[in-house]
Structures are given as structure tokens and as C-alpha cells.
Amino acid sequence: MIDVVLIQPSVIRRIDREDPKIISYFESMNKIGSLLGDSPLEPNYGLLTIAQVLRNSGIAVDFIDFTFHDLQLRNSGRRLTDDDIKTILTEHPAKIYGISYMTVTYGMWAKSISQILRTIAPTSYQVVGGIHPSMDGKLVLQDCPDIDFVVQGEAESVIAPLFHSLLEGSPPMHMPGVLGHNQEESTTHNLLTDREMNNAPYPAYDLALKRNPSLIPRIYSSRGCSEKCNFCVVSDFFSASRDVFGRYHRKIEISTFEHQLRHMLSTYSPEIFCLGDLTFAYNKQHALEICKVISEVQSDLGTNAKWWAQTCANVVDKELALAMQSAGCCQIAIGIEGGEDTQRKNVVKNLTTHTATNCLALLRDIGFEIQTYWIIGLPRDNESSVSATIDLMVNYLDKQLTHLTHISILVPYPGTNLHRYPEQLGIRLHPDRASDLSQYWMNCDPYGCGIPIYSTIDHNGETILSSERIYELWLEAIAQAESFYRSKAGGLNVSIQSDPRLLITDSGR
């Protein structure tokens, strides 16, 4: 029996087949290229970081990625079931099981995984973390009584002491950011200090490679988010720091980044990697130093890996873009969200269409592959504003101001202001769907799409767009993008990289 097994639940809907219209859109885009930073097959960076923290403290760890198992089963004509999970977990006995949950994976799997573990490993501890338990830990414990502890926030500093105490048979009564039964809800979320962040190890990607040979690893030059967009659960979470701007954005030291980069490139030899910062280049000087380090390390090691990054259109200038390109950046992701400035103001996104267009033109002319994020059903959206969003997206595609589209639906996640104060912010939650956490889909990948859990409303509380209508408009948006891709496939003057994480699904299509 091993000390700890860390578990990534499947992010794929528990249905046998997705809507053919949705699959058709993603297949058409994949003929152009891949979203290098947004693959459902990417191993869980946070869990694998925790794995290495535990290893460094002398704890033996294994890792199970049920998303990978689910995709393999779908290639053979069926999907992951509770019986499959029970079989796999029975083959991996452990003293502690650590599980990372997003809202939708919690809604789909938390109760069944918890009950399975209590049946097959009645004396083992169940510890959960991730963004959903961090935002709603007390309710998680009430909803799944077999879960023993919730770790809220960034767990690197607390996870080894917690797990050592459990392995020694002395569960902690009080530990910052750790919530157990019969305890008052923790008011402290674990947010790493600069020293703790820079001492955190690089993820144990070797645990994922044992079963999934396709890997595009991540590395970070900063943590947290510099923006205040109210549709972003991460931005909302890091606002808990209560610093002067209500945000918590921390730079990683250049020496730490260089050390991790050398380890990643020399250990895994990736052709592509992701620079995972939510807002890369928020601090321009730091970003320029990061680009310089990437170039120098690659030169020292004799490697030439390409990389993906996401940033904001209002922080990129020509000097920075050229530095990124020189350092090997091949694909940049930019959040546009809506087609009108008023839509972005409604979600506290500081971006104008004029600024976005100029930034994308700069990136296009330099030669980047451009990915853009779009959201259908923003607060107070109506038919006209959604049409403006679709029109701007198509305009950008026609002008090659974007090559790859990430088209999603707004999700008012539990714990965020959108979920706490929906009607004040321009939406109304659908009572049945909002209570079913398995319905919290972003609709941004081919494996998980659904009707949203809300409608948009005006300032008088009257419905503007029903949840069903938002879904119809989202289908229209992906159809417009698909039409472009099918008419232009092979004709775009760019060289998009292929994503090796998608190769295991080829036989199933």
C-alpha cells in the first residue's frame, strides 16, 4: 500500500456522445491548428506539484488521471463508469487519497468517488482541494460526509505537514486553510508568500508520463491574476488577499524560473511548452527578463522548444512581442470576450475594441499564431450585443487577427460575486440547473458542453436572453467559426503547431 494516491477526476461529460454539431466545429478548427494551452488532456499542474512536494518530504505518491482513462475508453466505444473507477482505485490502495475538483468535476464525480473510496478503503483518509473546494469548502464537507478534509487555496506549504500528521495517526485539529468536520469554516485560504512560492518544486510530470506519453508541460513566471474580471473564478479567489487593488499577483524570481526551465527542458525535452501565467507580461520588465532567460537556457541546452502564452491586449507592445517571438513563443492567447466595449465594462474588463484590434494586428504582422477567447451570454447580453460579438469574431478571422477561437459560455461559479449577487450583476440563476454542479460547463472543448445555468436580465429584472437562447446563440457562434475554418482550411498563411495530447483520440474519430 502506497502512502498517497492523487486523483484527477474526468473532465468529460457523463454521456456517450456529444452533439455532432459541436464535434464538427472542433474538428474543423483542428484542421487549422490546436489550442496549445487549453487541452483537456493536459495533466493537472497543481496536483503534480503537490506530488513533488510530498515526494521531497519522504512520502510515496502515485497519480491517477481519470480524464486520460475516460478518453481511452471512448476510443474503444464506451465511457468511464463508476465500476471502472472502482476497479482502478482498488488496484491503487493508499493510506490517503487526494482529489482535485473543479466545480463541474465535483458535480459529476465527488459523491461517487467518495463513496467508492469509503467502500474499498474504509480506513483511508480522503482529502480534497482545487478551486471548487477552496471556494465552498464547508458545503463540500456537508455534501460528501466521507471526505475528511478540505484544503483551501495554494496547498504547497501545508500539504506535507497535513499528510504527515495523517500518516502518523494524529489528524490536526487546526491548521491554516485546512477544513475538517466539526470545525468552523476556515477564514484563511492558503496563499503562498513570495519565499514559499519560489521554493515550490517543479511538478512531477514523470507520474503522468507513465500512462500518457503525450505531454505539453507548463511553467509559470507569476502566480495569481492582475485583472478583476468578474466572470473569472481565479480572479475572484485571489481577491481574497485584500491587497490595495483587491488582487494578488506575484512575480516568480528570475533565478527560480531559470532553474525550473532548465529542469523541464532537460528532463522532458518538450517540443512545445505552456507559459501558464494568467496575465503574462503584466509587468513588462519582468516579462522581458523571462524572455531573455528562455533564449539563454535554450541556447545552453541546444533546444528549440516553442511555447504558448496568454496575456492582455492592453499590455503588449512591439518590443515585448518581438522579445517573445525571439524567445520561441509561437502562439499567444488574448481575451476579447465581447464585441462591444459596454459588454466588457459589465464584467470589469478594462479593454476597448480599438485596443484589442491594434494589438492583434501587431501580433499578426509579426507572425504569431493568435488564439482569442470569446464569451456568449455576458451579463445583460441581448440579441444585438451577442450579434456584435459574433460579428467581431468573424471579422477578426477574416482579417487573420485571430486563427483559433475559444468560444465559451459565461459560468457563474459558486463562491464568486456572479453567483453571490447574480441579479445585481445582470443575470438570473436557473434554480434547477444552478443547484446541479455537473451543469457548470464553459462549452469551450469538445468533451463538455451544455445549456447554461442562467439567463441574462435587464436593470428591471426582466429576462433578456433565456438560458436556452444563450445556448442557441453559442451554437450559432461556433457554426460561424466552423464555416470560416471549412472555407479556409489549408489557406491560412500561418504554420500552426499540432498538439500531441490529441493523438490518442484519433482512433476514436
Question: Tell me: the pLDDT tens digits for 167-218?
Answer: 998 888 788 889 888 766 555 567 777 888 888 999 999 999 988 777 899 9
Q: Of the given ranges (177-191, 235-249, 394-408), which has the lowest mean pLDDT?
A: 235-249
Nearest to 294 by CA among 311, 314, 274: 274
Measured distance CA(173)–CA(155) in Å, rounded: 17
Measured distance CA(25)–CA(14) in Å, rounded: 20
**Do the domain assignments include residue 111?**
yes
Mean pLDDT, residues 59-87: 93
Mean pLDDT, residues 412-433: 92
Mean pLDDT, residues 20-43: 86
pLDDT band at 18 (very low <50, low <70, confident <90, very high): confident
- Write b or e for each residue in 202-211: b if 16 or more Cβ atoms lie within 10 A of its Cβ, otherwise e: bbbbebbeee
**Do the domain assignments include residue 62?**
yes
Q: Of the given ranges (7-16, 64-73, 221-230), which has the lowest mean pLDDT?
A: 221-230
Mean pLDDT, residues 22-35: 87
Give yes or no for residue 504 having a pLDDT over 70.
Answer: no
Domain hosting 108: range is 2-22+39-192
Q: How much is the pLDDT for 186?
A: 54
Give yes or no for residue 452 having a pLDDT over 60.
Answer: yes
Q: Are 265 and 298 in contact (CB under 8 A)?
A: yes
**Grid coordinates of 164:** 504527515
pLDDT band at 238 (very low <50, low <70, confident <90, very high): low
Measured distance CA(146)–CA(132) in Å, rounded: 17
Give yes or no for residue 7 having a pLDDT over 80.
Answer: yes
Query: pTM (2 decimals)?
Result: 0.92
**Do the domain assignments include residue 6?**
yes
Q: Are 244 and 279 in contact (CB under 8 A)?
A: no
**Do the domain assignments include residue 158?**
yes
**Do the domain assignments include residue 91?**
yes
Q: What is the number of structural domains in the chain?
A: 1
Mean pLDDT, residues 464-482: 97
Nearest to 154 by CA among 220, 98, 203, 223: 223
Residue 78's CATH number: 3.40.50.280
The CA angle 86-107-224, to the nearest 5 degrees, is 110
120 exposed, middle or buried (CB, 10 Å; 0-12, 13-18, 19+)? middle
Give yes or no for residue 497 having a pLDDT over 80.
Answer: no
**Do the domain assignments include residue 146?**
yes
**Grid coordinates of 264:** 523541464
Q: State the average pLDDT for the chain.
A: 90
Measured distance CA(167)–CA(3) in Å, rounded: 8
**Do the domain assignments include residue 269?**
no
Report which listed range, 41-50, 206-215, 470-479, is most confident: 470-479
pLDDT band at 244 (very low <50, low <70, confident <90, very high): very low
**Do the domain assignments include residue 187?**
yes
Q: How much is the pLDDT for 242?
A: 41
Q: How much is the pLDDT for 119?
A: 96
